[in-house]
Homo-oligomer: A and B are copies of this chain.
Amino acid sequence: MIILGVDPGLTRCGVGVIEAGAHRRLSFIHVDVVRSSPDMSQDLRLLAIYNGLVEKIETYAPDTVSIERVFAQSNRNTVLGTAQAAGLAMLAAAQRNIPVALHTPTEAKLAITGNGHAQKIQIERMVTRILNLNTMPTPADAADALALAICHALRPAGALQGGEREEHLTPAQRQWAEASKKATKRRFNADRGM
């Protein structure tokens, strides 16, 4: 199963591709950053990001696209561009009938380090170790994209069924399920107003 992770952004949009094999064995395929220049008008920036994402999706033909879930509470200065870039990634996947998974940064941190509040450097080190890389993936936003792909591959089985099977979860899986439920609730509240 090929998973393409997207760390959305208008100036730098991280893309990381991994393969998830049997026994949760993960291997590295590709990492890159799709860019648009802040000197361009917003419509041309969005076109550049969209075209870059389409190229990646068509090259690596993922089975799932795993995108960071953006919240309105995020950094005010960048949140709209980030939401728009995430929207373009969703569009590019939906146009090709590729399922989309949204994961919060907390979910990604939990899945990779077991700690939902892990620092950037811890994420980078664990991504490097999990994927058996010799050096840390660069640039840093690319590591975040790989983390989102890994997060989707390693998600606990219970994460898909919501709270039903919580009694069977390990403590880490329970933490995950709680973070996931919280995110779903926030999304539900946000969607109600739309």
Contact = CB atoms under 8 A, between A and B. Distances in A.
Interface of A: 9-11, 38, 41-44, 46-47, 50, 70-73, 75-81, 83-84, 86-88, 90-91, 93-95, 100, 102, 189-194
Instruction: Name the residue in A42, A44, A93 with the highest tally of chain B Cβ atoms < 10 Å from its Cβ.
Output: A42
A83 to B, nearest CB: 4
Contact of A9 (B11, B42, B194): B194
Contacts of A80: 70-72, 79-80, 83, 190
Nearest to A70: B80
B72 A76 contact: yes
Contacts of A43: 90-91, 93-94, 100
Main secondary structure of the interface of A (DSSP, over half): helix
Q: What are the 7 A-B residue pairs with the smallest beta carbon separation, nearest first?
A: A77-B193, A84-B87, A43-B90, A47-B94, A43-B100, A43-B94, A80-B83
Nearest to A86: B84
A191 B39 CA distance: 10
B192 A77 contact: yes
